[in-house]
Chains A and B, each alone.
Chain A
């Protein structure tokens, strides 16, 4: 196995009885932010659980941060942060208490855990709300608490399972921005998502899975030409279009729908600003086909 890779996998196979979740995978994941992408059921969560040593592979070898999670699971987990996709917050605890508690679970002494809890909650934008009970939090705030607990203990590697799930467009942009910043803190990230534009906006490396098969494992370079964004507004669609054109974006209007782009990941922010400026009601904003999506569909058809 080579040096400098966060994860190295050889001949990895995992099945749940007759259902084969991962099929004889060989791949290396370098330092930085890596996207683990695939449709629901592609094997992404199985892969993350294998990296944590929570599942034992049917066949093959895994190395995470230079350790085998099957033989040294506690050593690996002490250096990893994990943000599950599912709800994982006790509603009767405050955010500060819960994040401090998860820091202690990683072996941080109690006093330092409290301090880091406050700092991390500040980092994710929840300083004012940190003494509120988690049951009173919105979905977006809960996602941020989940991210805070994953990074509070200064891990070397963070596994994020659908971190932008349930967030509104602005919250999604902010979450992805924060994930990008984790790289600046020398924290390696594996970001699992079925939203390809999230991967395109955030990651430098991509691992594509489809029904347990490896479609692609490599840098994202050459796939950074993004697609269009489809926007639906209640009214003032022409004014929104004009505003975006004045900011340099191509637009076309179809009834109350507006197709913007192609453009980079700043396009969503520009749409939000434009709709707010002209006082239009934003109903829906989704990414159209992108180059990564095209590749995914193309590879899927080939396999």
Chain B
């Protein structure tokens, strides 16, 4: 028998402003950020995301250190010491882990704990809910990619022989190249991990499925594309993890020939593949959540 006692201290009515659906969307967005980062949760929920964030920032600092140790930045980049484009590659593994962790956290607990029944009893539509979740995902993953790049950029500016401001102004193209590359990574990975997280009820399994589809699936597709049968070159497009890298190489330095490039496809085909995947993901996840609402 519970020893709780209900005290009645009255009830205060509320006549202040109400922000309606936009306030509901903002609340879902902010709560999404807090959930992934473990804010307002027990300490064990913070360990994994903050460890990955720390590693990503340390990686950027190490890159700055390498350039500083070698000396001349322009020369070191010419010698093959990786810079902005290379940093994307360097922490691609930990960024994948962060994505595999974040998206299932954003979608699965709400669904499996029954919280959706509360969400959709408020002035919040399915589209509003999903767009807020996508916004939280894009913000977190975008920051995960961009903040270390920012650290690298400021670090390189500080150690540049040309001086801080001249280096910044000489490398203004970074300001659009990095966000564009980040967008390609976020869009492709989001288009894969959101549908998986919308149908799988265990966060760990959803994360494993995402990593499996991206790595094993891409590896298999690349091997099949090497075979000599009609249409084999089209299979090369199914090596999904190559597409944001092709876009990155197009914007920065060309480091590797990817299966789609070997098969003769141009960079715009990677853009098309990502766009189609995003479209399919939007249709799939919307349908799924309309049934749940």
Task: Please say whether chains A and B are actual partners in one complex.
Answer: yes
Among B18, B42, B113, B117, point to the contact of A78 (Cβ < 8 A): B18
Q: How far apart sit A81 and B115, CA to CA, in the bound complex (Å)?
A: 14
Q: Is B166 an interface residue (CB 8 A)?
A: no
Q: Is A105 an interface residue (CB 8 A)?
A: yes
Q: How far apart sit A187 and B21, CA to CA, in the bound complex (Å)?
A: 22
Q: Is B231 an interface residue (CB 8 A)?
A: no
Q: How far apart sit A80 and B121, CA to CA, in the bound complex (Å)?
A: 8
Number of CB contacts from chain A to chain B under 8 A: 151
Q: Is A189 an interface residue (CB 8 A)?
A: no
Among A54, A89, A105, point to the contact of B113 (Cβ < 8 A): A89
Among B2, B8, B19, B41, point to the contact of A181 (Cβ < 8 A): B8
| Chain B contacts for A124, CB-based, 8 A | 6
Q: Is A109 an interface residue (CB 8 A)?
A: yes
Query: Which parts of B103-132 form the interface with A (CB within 8 Å)?
Result: 109-110, 113-115, 117-125
How large, as a class, is the contact surface on chain A? 35 or more
Is B6 a contact of A87 with CB atoms below 8 Å?
A: no
Q: How far apart sit A144 and B18, CA to CA, in the bound complex (Å)?
A: 25
* B122 nearest in chain A by CB position: A105
**Which of A106, A140, A141, A159 is the most central at the interface, judged by chain B CB atoms within 10 Å of its CB?**
A106
Contact with B along A168-180 (1 / 0, CB 8 A): 1111001101100
CB distance from A38 to the nearest CB of B (A): 20
Is A105 a contact of B109 with CB atoms below 8 Å?
A: no
| Chain B contacts for A87, CB-based, 8 A | 113-114
Q: Is B158 an interface residue (CB 8 A)?
A: no
Is A109 a contact of B123 with CB atoms below 8 Å?
A: no
| A88-B113, A154-B14, A185-B11 known; A104-B118 Cβ under 8 A | no
| A88-B113, A112-B16 known; A105-B28 Cβ under 8 A | yes
| Chain A contacts for B20, CB-based, 8 A | 74, 78, 107
| Chain A contacts for B26, CB-based, 8 A | 104
CB distance from A140 to the nearest CB of B (A): 5
CB distance from A211 to the nearest CB of B (A): 24
| A101-B31, A140-B4, A170-B2 known; A92-B18 Cβ under 8 A | no
Contact residues of B: prevailing secondary structure = loop
| Chain A contacts for B10, CB-based, 8 A | 123, 185
Q: How far apart sit A185 and B10, CA to CA, in the bound complex (Å)?
A: 8
Is A140 a contact of B122 with CB atoms below 8 Å?
A: no
Q: How far apart sit A243 and B91, CA to CA, in the bound complex (Å)?
A: 75
Is A153 a contact of B41 with CB atoms below 8 Å?
A: no
CB distance from B29 to the nearest CB of A (A): 11
Is B113 a contact of A171 with CB atoms below 8 Å?
A: no
Q: Is B23 an interface residue (CB 8 A)?
A: yes
| Chain B contacts for A97, CB-based, 8 A | 40
CB distance from A141 to the nearest CB of B (A): 6
Query: Which parts of A121-145 form the interface with B (CB within 8 Å)?
Result: 122-127, 133, 138, 140-141, 144
Is B41 a contact of A93 with CB atoms below 8 Å?
A: yes
| Chain A contacts for B121, CB-based, 8 A | 52, 54, 77, 80-82, 84, 159
Query: Which parts of B202-239 form the interface with A (CB within 8 Å)?
Result: none
Contact with A along B25-39 (1 / 0, CB 8 A): 011100100000000
* B24 nearest in chain A by CB position: A105
Q: How far apart sit A192 and B121, CA to CA, in the bound complex (Å)?
A: 16
| Chain A contacts for B13, CB-based, 8 A | 154, 185-186
Is B24 a contact of A119 with CB atoms below 8 Å?
A: no
Among B2, B7, B12, B41, point to the contact of A116 (Cβ < 8 A): B12
| Chain B contacts for A140, CB-based, 8 A | 2, 4
A residues neighboring B (CB under 8 Å): 52, 54, 74-75, 77-78, 80-82, 84, 86-94, 97, 101-102, 104-109, 112, 116, 119-120, 122-127, 133, 138, 140-141, 144, 149, 151, 153-154, 159, 168-171, 174-175, 177-178, 181-182, 185-187
- Identify the 10 closest CB pairs spanning chains A and B, nearest first: A82-B121, A107-B18, A125-B6, A104-B27, A154-B14, A105-B122, A74-B123, A107-B23, A185-B11, A88-B114
